[in-house]
Structure 1
């Protein structure tokens, strides 16, 4: 799986960006990147799900677990990282680049990369205090199971345009929850 050269260039040049701070501070830019990614994903729509009735799937997004009071402080950092990483993994498959406009896809990937980089100091800080237990339990495990159902679905549907359209909607749903979680975290500062 090879990244387009333009994306690799942007990732290398942009890697000095948001990760310079110490401790765990989510800046407003982190929230704005999620909003930008939602808008880019809207623009990436190529077909209507109404034309794909056989591909409908309920992936059982764990919204109440992620947006509810169960996710607090340290756990929220791990949930954010898990969601952003899985979204990136989905969009980095070679099949994704053939499903969508690569310019828009690369912009989404760059935004996700910047967010993941911004979370690194938080993860390092929290891992030192809490260990690895929170990285695998509760809401983080629910996120892992949720995304674990998306990859086999795409394979089962042979990475069809319809399957990718349903996945695009799931990613948008995930990003909306990420925004809510980021806002809650930024209000805790």
Structure 2
């Protein structure tokens, strides 16, 4: 199992290094591949079942009206900004106290390095003015969503169950990213 994890990490790092050397013309396909890698890693590390003691917490958690589904990604630049902000906020979450996470330090480091590489790739391809009202609203909505997740972790003292909720929500974010990517031309 450890060999399988290391092999996945090495493949992801090689993939991220290779795609960073390409230009913005292939951003759509690169984002799709990166997102598949992120989802594969999350699925590999989180397991297929939810611990029984966490079921009530998971069922009771609701991000409310701050879900990412409310974000307007009707144009390419706003989609890029939303994706970049999700990567940044996910990275911040995974840098928090993760003693109860079932991930080892190498897995966390590899995941964070991949997110950082993806953020750099998106930054090179962003054209929107950082002061655009729509861009700022998108960033704010994503940050609010992740603040709720961070608040949950703090409230539950970074327990295993709070991390289970975060993993479920983060996986949903990466599924949502797949939809956002469709706004970026091939």
TM range (shorter): 0.7 to 0.9
Residues 29 and 23 from structure 1, CA distance in 2 versus in 1: closer, same or farther, beyond 3 angstroms?
closer
**Partner Cα separation in structure 1 for residue 180 and residue 27 of structure 2:** 11
Structure 1 partner of 2:178: 179
Q: Give the RMSD, CA atoms, in angstroms.
A: 3.0
Task: Tell me the TM-score normalised to structure 1 length.
Answer: 0.74
Match of 1:59 in 2: 63
| Correspondence list, 1:67-146, <5 A | 70-93=73-96, 95-96=97-98, 98-102=100-104, 103-123=106-126, 126-127=127-128, 130-133=129-132, 134-137=134-137, 139-146=138-145
Equivalence for 1:4: none
Q: Which runs of 5+ in 2 are unaligned?
A: 1-9
Alpha-carbon contact 2:81-2:139 (below 8 Å) kept = yes
Distance 1:131 1:22 in 2: 21
In 1: Cα distance, 2:99 partner to 2:120 partner: 22
1:149 maps to what in 2? 148
1:145 Cα deviation (Å)? 1.2
- How many angstroms does 1:27 deviate by? 4.6
Unaligned stretches of 5+ in structure 1?
A: 1-9
Number of equivalent positions: 170
